[in-house]
Amino acid sequence: MQTRPVLANTPQAKAIRAEGIAETVLKIIKRREICLTEEQRQRILTCHDTDQLDTWFDRAFTAADAEDIFG
């Protein structure tokens, strides 16, 4: 029987997870009608630190503006 490799902790899997979180953060921000500069948007999209992305994710739900997210 052939087994599949576990990919959860590979760099590729982490990058895919980070990309998904970043896209979700941006979607929440858009739905909440919070304005971002292009620089802030790129900061989210290029972040590979899932802990930082998780923080922005949590803040996006209650933020009044972009400063509340990045603060």
Residues 6+ apart with CB under 8 A from 62: 68
CB 67 within 8 A of CB 40: no
Token pair of 52 as six digits: 């930082």
Q: In tens digits, what is the pLDDT along the chain, a chain of 71 residues? A: 666 666 678 889 899 999 999 999 999 999 999 999 999 999 999 999 999 999 999 999 999 999 999 99
Question: In angstroms, rounded to a whole number, what is the distance separating the alpha carbons of residues 4 and 22?
Answer: 28
pTM for this model (two decimals): 0.85
Distance spanning both ends of the chain, measured CA to CA: 52
State whether the Cα torsion 9-12-15-21 is positive or negative. Answer: negative
